[in-house]
Amino acid sequence: MSALPQRLGVVGAGTMGSGIAQLGCLAGMATVLYDPVAEALERGAASLRAGLEKGAERGRWSAADAEAAAARLETTGALEDLAGCELVIEAAPERAELKRELFARVSEICPDAVLATNTSSIPVTSLASAAARPELVVGMHFFNPAPLMRLVEVIAAEQTGERALEVATATGEAMGKRVIRATDGPGFLVNRCGRPFYGEALRCVTERIATPAQVDRICRLGGGFRMGPFELMDLVGIDVGFEVAKSFMELSFGEPRWRPSPLQARMVAAGRLGRKTGRGWYEYGDGPYRPEDPEPPAPGGGEGRALAVGGDGPVAELLRARGEAAGYAVTRGGAEGEVRLDGRPVGGFVLVPPEPRLVELLGPRDEERERLFSSLGFVCEWVEDAPGGVLGRIVCQLVNEACFAVGEGVGSPEDVDAGMELGLNHPRGPMTWGRILGFDRVLATLDAIWQARREERYRPAPLLLKLAREAA
C-alpha cells in the first residue's frame, strides 16, 4: 500500500493552511480545506487559486496544471466532511487547547487517518495524547510561505508510529519539499538550532559590543546572511520573538542558552514591536529603514610592504591571498591569527570565512589598521574588544547549538544544515560552518568567551568537544 494519501484534509484556511492545501492540490491529491468561519474559508480558497494562477504566469507549472489542481479542491465548513481523508494536516492558530480539541474530534471522524500538526512551538507529544490513536499523530512543520519554502520538518512525538512518519514523509516529498526528520522538543530541529542568531545578537548589544544596526551589517556583509537578526526580529514581531523565547525557557526547564533577553522585554513594554507598529529596532516610515550596505573596496595599495600572516587556518589563507592581490610582500610567520605589517603587530580583528566582505576591527580605533584592511578589500566595522567579536560569537554558538541537537539525537548533521539553509535562509548550515572554521577553533572561541563571561550558556556541547579533538 502506498504511503502517499489520495485524499488530504487541511484544517484552517489561513495563510499557512491555504498554502498547504495548494501544495496538496498540485501534488495530485483530492484536497478538502476546512474552516468554521465562512469568510476565512472563502479568502483561503481565493488565495489558493490566485497562487496557482501566479505560479502558472511565472512558469512554475503550466496553466493546465493550475486548472487541474484547482479542480481537486473542495471547501467545507463541516468537520465531518473530512471523513475518508487518509491524512489530515492541522493548521489552526497556535493555541494548544484548540489543537487538542481538533485532534480529538478529527480522530473520531477519521479513525484510520494520520493526523499531522503544523505547529512550530507546541510539543507534538502533548497534542498526540488528545487523539484516539496517538501513534497516528505526527508533526509536519511547513515554513512560511508554504508554497515557496522548500523545507518541511517531520517531527516524531513520543507516541508516533512508523506509518505516520512514512505518510508524512511521502506527502512532503510529493509536494516537492526537502523533508528532514526531528524528534519532539523545544523548537524541534530548525527553530532550535536558529536560536543563537537572535540570542547572541541580543547579548552583543546588551554588553555594548555593537549597536543593532552594526550587528545586522556585520551579519549581512561579514557572514552572507540576507537579513540581520534585528531586522528579522522587527519583521516577525519583537513580541512574537519574546513569547517564543519564554516558551523555550519554560519547555527546557531553564536552559541558560535559551534565556530571554531583558532587551526584548523592554521593547515589548515600550510598544516597539517592529514593522507592525512602525517602530522596533528601526524606524519605519516612508523611506528606507536603513542605508544601503557599502561595497567593499578593491584590493590595492600594498606597494611591496611586508605583510606577515601567522597560522595555516582559513583566515590566514584568506589574508595571504588578499595581501598578494593588494600588492603586499606576503610571508608566513608568527602565531596562529597574528598579523604584522612592516614588522609591527596589527591589532585585533575578526574575519569569518569563507567569503567575508567585512572585517570587524576590535577597539580602540586605529587608522593604520583600518587602512590595512581596507587595502585588503574589506569593509571595516569598529566594535568593542571582545572574544569572537560579533559574528564569530554568533556563528560559534550556532555551531555549538547544532552539536547539542545532533548529539541529543534531535536530527542528523545533514538535516540540521538543510533545515537552516532551506528553512531559515542561512548562507550555510552550522555543521558546514564548523568544518570550514575548524571545530577546534570554534571550541577555542567559546572557551575565550567563557573565560571572559563565566556563563553556563557558553559551555561546549559534548559532540563539539569530540569533533574538536578529532580536528586538532
Active-site amino acid positions: 120, 141, 153, 191
Q: Is 463 left (phi over 0), alpha (psi -120 to 50) or beta?
A: alpha
> Prior bond to 145 cis, omega within 30?
yes
User: What does the alpha-carbon distance between residue 115 and residue 79 come to, in Å, rounded to a whole number?
Assistant: 14
User: What does the alpha-carbon distance between residue 398 and residue 424 come to, in Å, rounded to a whole number?
Assistant: 13
User: What does the alpha-carbon distance between residue 253 and residue 247 come to, in Å, rounded to a whole number?
Assistant: 10
Three-class SS state of 34: strand
DSSP-derived pairing of the beta strands 344-345 and 339-341: antiparallel
Cβ atoms 28, 153 nearer than 8 A: no
Task: Name the residue type at position 277.
Answer: T
Residue 343, all three cell numbers: 614588522
CA 321, distance to chain mean position in Å, is 32
Three-class SS state of 121: coil
Half-sphere exposure of 95 (CA within 13 A, CB side): 7
Q: Which residues contact 338 (CB under 8 A, 6 or more apart)?
A: 308, 309, 310, 311, 345
User: What does the alpha-carbon distance between residue 240 and residue 268 come to, in Å, rounded to a whole number?
Assistant: 9
Helical segments of 259-305, H only? 262-269
> Prior bond to 147 cis, omega within 30?
no
User: What does the alpha-carbon distance between residue 323 and residue 104 come to, in Å, rounded to a whole number?
Assistant: 66
